[in-house]
Structure 1
Amino acid sequence: MSTRNLQFLFDPASVAIIGASERPHSVGATVLANMLAGGYKGEIYAVNPKHRELAGRPVYADVGALPKTPDLAVICTPPHTVPGLIAELGARGTRAAIVLTAGLSALRDSHGVSLRQRMLDAARPTLLRILGPNCVGLLVPGIGLNASFAHAGALPGKLAFVSQSGALVTGVLDWANSRGIGFSRFVSLGDSADVDFGDLLDYLASDGATRAIMLYIEDIRDARKFMSAARAAARSKPVLVIKAGRAAEGARAAASHTGALAGSDDVYDAAIRRAGMLRVYSTEDLFGAVETLARSRPLVGERLCILTNGGGPGVMATDALIASGGRLASLSDATMQALDKVLPANWSHGNPVDIIGDAPAGRYRQAAEILLAAPEVDGLLFIHAPTAIVPSAEIAQAVAPLLAGAGRNVLGCWLGGDSLAAARQVFSSQGIPTYDTPEEAVRGFMQIVQYRRNQNLLMQVPASTPEDFGPDRAAAQALVNAALADGRSMLTEPESHRLLAAYGIPVVATHTAISAEDAAAAAAAIGFPVALKILSPQISHKSDVGGVVLDLEDAPAVLAAATAMHRRLRALLPDAVLTGFTVQAMARRPQAHELIVGVATDPVFGPVLLFGKGGVAVEVTADHAMELPPLNMPLAKAMMARTRVYRLLRGYRNEGPADVDAIGRTLVQLSHLVTDIAEIVELDINPLLADGNGVLALDARVKLAPRTVGESRNRLAIRPYPKELEETVDWEGEQLLLRPIRPEDGEEHLRFFNALDPEDVRFRIFSRMRELQPSQVARLTQIDYDREMAFIASRRKPDGAFETLGVVRAIADPDNIKAEFAIIVRSDMKGHGLGVMLMKKIIDYCRSRGTREIVGEALINNRPLLEMVRHLGFEVHPAVGEGTAVLRLPLQQPQQEHAP
């Protein structure tokens, strides 16, 4: 339901506390006390039939007795009363409620319906929003609202905190209050029956009172909604996450290595990263990262230089940086020579730059100036350990203005105790992130690095259909359908190879034999040496039963190996059915790396892709990375780079590099395969051989499950770029490309805006605007195709680049009832039919999605637009007293309600 009516939750004009009480330590008494003590200026109504007065205020017997309809109700009554109260409040006109009561899911009515469901059913007709049940409540310190039974209030601030854990809510309040940290919104989600993470992320993304968003997550239930909201929020402000449940749950039963490796925490990690958020692992890191990111500058690179007055702290910082996967800047000859001129002869002559313990303020400043000007330095860590020679505060005052004005990220570390408080204050007042230890400072820098990496991943929107290869979808789907029709959930190895080949993945030639004699004959036809593998629907891991023999040199060896396999199978698994053998030519690639690539299905996020070091012991080596589809090459390479084996793939000593592009293409091809074929629930290629000549899939296994029609796209947590909506049209003797907007259109969209006449801009946004801010460009081009659509009309220029001539967009409400449209055409292109073309495109799209109507607004003197929409069938009605017209085009007939 997204943000509908959430304004009544966070900014109510009046609050009713239903179940208010005077009983010590009761929820009702605590909420009433918190509300009265918080400084809230709106009306507060206490409701309880057992009391006439509480805390000197009148108490009302029930909702009907209230003198006014409250915007927000806080319910602290027994479970069986909640559904009726929600219905009563909704009928009265209340649009938001906080249900603190627990136990609604466990209790059922006489028809077996849970009280939780009855509560939701009662809220639906009036769109009353519910926070909870089983929550601590919420706090909005800026307006003095403490609608919770927390033991302490919150200070006002710019941070929003949303938690699924009630215990963590109270703990974080204590922690933050002791450090003077304030909040814009402080929310306990509880069971999230209605309002969930997705709704709150949508609301907080556009909340001017919130600078950064912090989440404590235990589980996500609607992955597509969460990812859409998280990606939208992360484009506008930092979103930081603590995810509970990091411990491995143990290997689960699976038909593939990938299925066993795909632990839930790995998948959550991939989702958080892909959404452009930053994951941290402690409360202290959570708040520290907020401050670090709020003060960070655009990251030009990841190479860090360490400037210190002591060798020990520099080594500590270096160790921490390398251990966390960071990069130490290598100083150029020019930088070294410049430092030689201003530093003592015994300086460290490398990075860390140790300028010796007696360094005065001037030496610090000169070294910092050189390092900040060095092109090989992307960030600077300033470390100072106190000495008796120069006061630390004096050094801080001398260098802080220089560091604060740097064009790259600078972090400070004042290593010591209270004697350095003044120096730390100087740095903090200048907006320089400041830390107590080198390790903390490096962790802060790596948070900036990881956040920027995740933001770059957020920009990637892979296409729904491949652009550089043509898979045989029909053949792949037919193969899968045939196996399911036979009642099988596993493909045979030859079938798995044909499936991979249909998507362009190189596979070793495989022949099937039904007997030992046939296997020997097939081997002779292929040419020796060969590999022999057992075929049985009951055997997933062939090597576990001795079902793989390599380097067979002649037909008698093949015959003997096949006979021995059959004998072992009867002894180890007498119920297993032997359907034959596969014979493969030995792949002679002695320098190749054994990799694993695969697919698993997470119960929350759907398909996930895996890459890592392969072989029979993949679960033990645990060197793998996971990512959500869809993938493109930048995402595939970023995924590979998170593994240890990736360093080997790039070459070492006398070993040449593997073809990393070929590995990346394989991951992209797998992404398209699992996107297209919804029946694939697990898939392994292990090993995938990779060397300088490319890749080759040696062994593969695929597990299937029947799927409903249309489930292929909906099961993905991230909707791909809908390439199928691209359309080439003829227009005045040339061709135009009509397509959905993409993040990489940002620069061209800015040029498009700058080419508009100011009057056209006023017609579009009802006010004058001279330029688009970067955040506005991102909002217009980085859209979530599951929530809105924007089509651009573009044409190719003589230099081969495309230019944008017009754009139309539509944003549907959460229930897909109405979609609000907006359109603008480049000023020099008006009157050529572009507007009609774009409007027809968006109308057809909205109609195909089942949207019931398209609505919009226009200034009444925008005659060209009004004439165009009338021509397209829109109703045009003047808005009362606003100088605007309301535009409406019905698309679907409302569905008739039928009695059961």
Structure 2
Amino acid sequence: MLRHRLAALFDPASVLVVGPAALPMKTIASLGRLARHQTHVVWSDSAPAQWPQDLAGVPSGRRLDLAVLALPYHALPKTLNALERYRPRALIVLSPPSPSATPGQDCAVCVQWAREHDCVMLGPRTLGIQRPHLGLNASLSSDLALPGKVALVSQSEAIVSAVLDWARDANLGFSTVASMGDETDLTLARLLDYLATDSRTDSIAVYLEQVPSPRALFSALRAAAAVKPVVVLKAGGGSRNPNSESDAVFNALLRRAGAVRIPYFVQLFSAIKVLRSPVRPKGRRIAVVSNGSGPPQLALDIMGVAAAVQRAELSLQTQKALAESLEDAAQVANPVVTRVALTPETMRKVLTSLTTDVGVDGILVLLAPDQRVDMAAVVAQLAHTAASAAKPVMACLMGEATMRPLRHRLDEAGIPSFRTPEAAINAFGVLATYHYNQVLSQQTLPPEPLNQPPQVDQARRLIKAVLQAQRTTLEFEECVQLLGCFDVPVELLSTHDDFPGLSHVDDVPMAIRVGHDAQYGPFINFGSGGRTVISSRDRAVDLPPLNSFLARQIIERSVVWRRALRHQISPAAQASLEDALERLSDMVCMLPEIQHILIDPLWAGNTRLFAQSVHIDVAPSCLTALPEQSGYGHMAIHPYPRQLVQEKQFVDGRPWLMRPIRPEDAEPLQRFVRALSDESRYMRFVSMLRELTPSMLARYSRIDYDRELALVATVQLPNPEHRGHPQEEIIGFAHYLRNADGRGAEYALVVADNWQRHGLGKELLQGLLQVARDQRLDYIEGFVLAANRPMLGLMTRMGFQNDVDEDDPTLRRVWLSL
């Protein structure tokens, strides 16, 4: 198996540490105790000649894995020169005690050196990294974190220090701790890509201060969150944020990536606790159990329709079972409240009843100290029952003197426990929001165009004429014409026209706003009419591209929907509203010149939408080619590449379809892999796996079209489970992913056994090559088993070079210059 490029940083086989005697002793000692790491410690920052000439842990002709530098900035150039003979694969430049007078110049020197020597660099100005399960502490923190399954990544050294200090007290561990420092060579996106595939990491917590590249961050977050929960704490939010609109757009970006944003630092601790739980809820309905009436009310105060979680409605069968388990005066509707001395057996019965209720997605147990009760025994039963529950169970043990040790016991048992009801509900909200955002992240544009294909060329000519006239605002008739080009179902009326067909005289006016954020690109906002700005807490914001599901979610997240619209709007008018949002999304995807659209006020008739005012602003595009030819560079999310859908025929005339893969192809792709012969599976995956793992399935079907592409070949075959009706089946799969150098990509190709020697492999590979050329990649490469002669023959016929892999003679590197 090929080694990940970042393995030299996070799983080094050889380490060289260079630093002054003032470096914390525990840092070096912890690193030096590793028997599996051939660690060399050099205490002098001024005498590279005294370094060991030969590193015992580096075989002849091989490179050093990791070099760790803890030096004053003035010593860096000489030290980097001395490092050349070791050719480290990875480099960490720790923050020295004294700041640099020329930080920009120091960064440039380090970046240039790393690029010239093909070295991954973390820093400068970083606290370093920790890999607790390896005992690796290449950081300025004196204490090594406990081993765990949560990865912590931060752009702030102080945040890392604070979280590590808290975690030691809470007895929580980490799989990885990484301080990003100056994001120069090793970007946050690349680090997230590594953690997404790290078997030691089950979830990821990220602290952000700035977003250098929104599309790269979105790509990495989406890939990571597809296989494990990701929570993000970002500075700069809140009501006092002067750029609240941009913050709302960032929230929308995280939702679409499938990650979860938490607004406060204290919630980061709750999130880290809850992310350790292997059980994820499938919804947001929470049942509350308590030994008193006060604590549940505090929890209910922050639950509701507009909150991340809401109170579950217990079935009559569950309420009957609870009544049989509790005293006569107990409350058996949610919240479940008992006021008599609680026993372990009662706790077991209550939890069992709630976990079997299909209307419950998670359970929160709120307990206050009770001198009548053996609370330790009750908590032990809680931990035992929760450990085997199919739904997440969390606890809030209120109090300190007697309850704090019990919280630690639950934490050690893997059951998240909290001091306050608010913290517990917020923690449940993290999991519920993750589930909801994952649904959003799987949405993509359908492969077919909208029912009425847009007149894109006509729209582009219209905007070109406006800009050539040195105008930036479209006149009313031009707005009508532009919306008509995309068949936006909104009837624009003059100011003196009546509003025909309104369902109520007092209907609430709505508004659709399309804006353009300088960092995140175009966004779409829906809400009540008359507003001029959106706040950072506005959830009725999303980024294009949209489909009908995403359009409906924007509407239903809005305040105007919850307060009035859901009771007034007709199904036909709601369908028109969703269609309007979807078509406006299509418009901004295809027309990067659009800066602002405001349709306000917007009214819903019985079946149609009416607007009295529309305003559209445009500006010259910075793209050098049409969006569909240049990767939609004006957007944070790459749309589904519909232009790549191609109808084809075999030599015998049978039709087949080549198209980019979609998230809903996950199950057909799994069927495709299961149907492969053992030989085909081994040739493709270099293993005998019978089917794709869930993470592999998500990885291959939820494609980020900005940096990778997966094409499938499909045919219509009879489905015996549905009376022989045709069903689309995958018979070929081709995929490429950009390499870390940004210049090339690595491809993979597999064809179903029964469909080989029909030209599918060649067609799919040619499709990949064409897109790779359009994206201006320099080369494409793949690694093929030397025994796979048919594939090697195909590559040779298509002009690929065939080289022996230096690290594995059983593999061939086949590559093509583009």
Q: Which of the five TM-score ranges fits, normalised by the shorter chain?
A: 0.7 to 0.9
Match of residue 7 from structure 1 = 7
Displacement after TM superposition at 1:883 (Å): 6.7
Larger of the two Rg values belongs to structure: 1
Match of residue 145 from structure 2 = 154
Gap change, CA 1:227 and 1:466, over 3 Å in 2: same
Gap change, CA 1:309 and 1:156, over 3 Å in 2: closer
Gap change, CA 1:681 and 1:31, over 3 Å in 2: farther
Q: Give the letter for the 2:473 counterpart.
A: M
**Equivalent of 1:833 in 734, 753, 759:** 759
The alignment's TM-score, normalised by the length of structure 2, stands at 0.87
Determine the C-alpha separation between the residues in 1 that align with 2:772 and 2:591: 26
1:707 aligned counterpart, secondary structure = coil
Match of residue 712 from structure 2 = 792
In the alignment, is the contact (CA less than 8 A) between 1:272 and 1:278 conserved in 2? yes
Query: Is 2:282 aligned against 1:300?
Result: yes
Determine the C-alpha separation between the residues in 2 that align with 1:263 and 1:591: 29
1:31-430 matched pairs, under 5 angstroms:
34-36=27-29, 38-41=31-34, 42-46=38-42, 48=44, 50=46, 59-61=47-49, 71-75=65-69, 79=73, 82=76, 86=80, 89-90=83-84, 93-100=87-94, 107=102, 114=105, 116-150=107-141, 152-248=143-239, 263-322=245-304, 324-348=307-331, 350-398=333-381, 400-420=383-403, 424=407, 427-428=410-411
1:301 aligned counterpart, secondary structure = coil
1:797 aligned counterpart, secondary structure = strand
Determine the C-alpha separation between the residues in 1 that align with 2:691 and 2:809: 25
Match of residue 607 from structure 2 = 693
In the alignment, is the contact (CA less than 8 A) between 1:629 and 1:718 conserved in 2? yes
Displacement after TM superposition at 1:233 (Å): 1.3
Query: Is 2:591 aligned against 1:598?
Result: no
Match of residue 525 from structure 1 = none
Determine the C-alpha separation between the residues in 1 that align with 2:584 and 2:798: 43
**Equivalent of 1:475 in 433, 445, 458:** 458
Displacement after TM superposition at 1:729 (Å): 0.6
For residues 862-895 of structure 1, the C-alpha deviation after alignment (integer angstroms, 9 at most, x for no partner) is 3333333333333445667967352524243xxx
For residues 31-84 of structure 1, the C-alpha deviation after alignment (integer angstroms, 9 at most, x for no partner) is 67732454454333437575xxxxxxxx53588988797544444556566467
Q: Give the letter for the 1:664 counterpart.
A: E
Q: Give the letter for the 2:179 counterpart.
A: S
Displacement after TM superposition at 1:162 (Å): 1.8
Query: Is 2:618 aligned against 1:704?
Result: yes
1:470-549 matched pairs, under 5 angstroms:
470-509=453-492, 531=495
Determine the C-alpha separation between the residues in 2 that align with 1:38 and 1:118: 27
Gap change, CA 1:90 and 1:687, over 3 Å in 2: farther
Match of residue 30 from structure 1 = 23
Match of residue 725 from structure 1 = 644
Determine the C-alpha separation between the residues in 2 that align with 1:207 and 1:786: 23
Gap change, CA 1:393 and 1:72, over 3 Å in 2: closer
Match of residue 722 from structure 2 = none
In the alignment, is the contact (CA less than 8 A) between 2:456 and 2:590 conserved in 1? yes
In the alignment, is the contact (CA less than 8 A) between 1:94 and 1:128 conserved in 2? yes
Match of residue 669 from structure 1 = 583
Q: Which moved more, 1:226-235 or 1:375-384?
A: 375-384
In the alignment, is the contact (CA less than 8 A) between 1:241 and 1:278 conserved in 2? yes
Q: Give the letter for the 2:171 counterpart.
A: G
For residues 678-709 of structure 1, the C-alpha deviation after alignment (integer angstroms, 9 at most, x for no partner) is 11122222222235423223322222221232
In the alignment, is the contact (CA less than 8 A) between 2:668 and 2:729 conserved in 1? yes
Gap change, CA 1:210 and 1:294, over 3 Å in 2: same
Q: Give the letter for the 2:161 counterpart.
A: T
Match of residue 736 from structure 1 = 656
Determine the C-alpha separation between the residues in 1 that align with 2:732 and 2:14: 46
Determine the C-alpha separation between the residues in 2 that align with 1:819 and 1:787: 9
Q: Percent identity?
A: 33
Displacement after TM superposition at 1:107 (Å): 4.2
1:267 aligned counterpart, secondary structure = helix
Match of residue 574 from structure 1 = none
Gap change, CA 1:391 and 1:114, over 3 Å in 2: closer
Gap change, CA 1:774 and 1:890, over 3 Å in 2: closer
Displacement after TM superposition at 1:193 (Å): 1.9
Determine the C-alpha separation between the residues in 1 that align with 2:606 and 2:339: 47
Gap change, CA 1:72 and 1:329, over 3 Å in 2: closer
Q: Give the letter for the 2:644 counterpart.
A: L
In the alignment, is the contact (CA less than 8 A) between 1:808 and 1:822 conserved in 2? yes
Displacement after TM superposition at 1:655 (Å): 7.8
Match of residue 547 from structure 2 = 632
Determine the C-alpha separation between the residues in 2 that align with 1:32 and 1:100: 15
Determine the C-alpha separation between the residues in 2 that align with 1:200 and 1:128: 15
Match of residue 594 from structure 2 = 680
Q: Give the letter for the 1:34 counterpart.
A: T
Match of residue 750 from structure 2 = 824
Q: Which moved more, 1:819-828 or 1:214-223?
A: 819-828
Determine the C-alpha separation between the residues in 1 that align with 2:370 and 2:444: 53
Displacement after TM superposition at 1:627 (Å): 1.6
Displacement after TM superposition at 1:480 (Å): 1.5
Displacement after TM superposition at 1:449 (Å): 0.6
Gap change, CA 1:440 and 1:882, over 3 Å in 2: closer
Ranges in structure 2 where 5+ consecutive residues have no aligned partner: 719-724
Q: Give the letter for the 2:636 counterpart.
A: A
Q: Which moved more, 1:726-735 or 1:691-700?
A: 691-700
2:540 aligned counterpart, secondary structure = strand
In the alignment, is the contact (CA less than 8 A) between 1:855 and 1:888 conserved in 2? yes
Displacement after TM superposition at 1:734 (Å): 2.2
Match of residue 721 from structure 2 = none
Displacement after TM superposition at 1:271 (Å): 1.8
In the alignment, is the contact (CA less than 8 A) between 1:490 and 1:704 conserved in 2? yes
Q: Which moved more, 1:393-402 or 1:635-644?
A: 393-402
Query: Is 2:436 aligned against 1:453?
Result: yes
In the alignment, is the contact (CA less than 8 A) between 1:303 and 1:378 conserved in 2? yes
In the alignment, is the contact (CA less than 8 A) between 1:612 and 1:643 conserved in 2? yes
Determine the C-alpha separation between the residues in 2 that align with 1:84 and 1:489: 55
Displacement after TM superposition at 1:768 (Å): 1.3
Gap change, CA 1:695 and 1:62, over 3 Å in 2: farther
Determine the C-alpha separation between the residues in 2 that align with 1:409 and 1:34: 38
Gap change, CA 1:664 and 1:345, over 3 Å in 2: same
Displacement after TM superposition at 1:453 (Å): 0.9
Q: Give the letter for the 1:435 counterpart.
A: F
Determine the C-alpha separation between the residues in 1 that align with 2:269 and 2:507: 45
Query: Is 2:696 aligned against 1:714?
Result: no
2:303 aligned counterpart, secondary structure = helix
In the alignment, is the contact (CA less than 8 A) between 1:811 and 1:819 conserved in 2? yes
Determine the C-alpha separation between the residues in 1 that align with 2:531 and 2:274: 43
Match of residue 426 from structure 2 = 443
2:640 aligned counterpart, secondary structure = coil
Gap change, CA 1:882 and 1:10, over 3 Å in 2: closer
Displacement after TM superposition at 1:329 (Å): 2.1
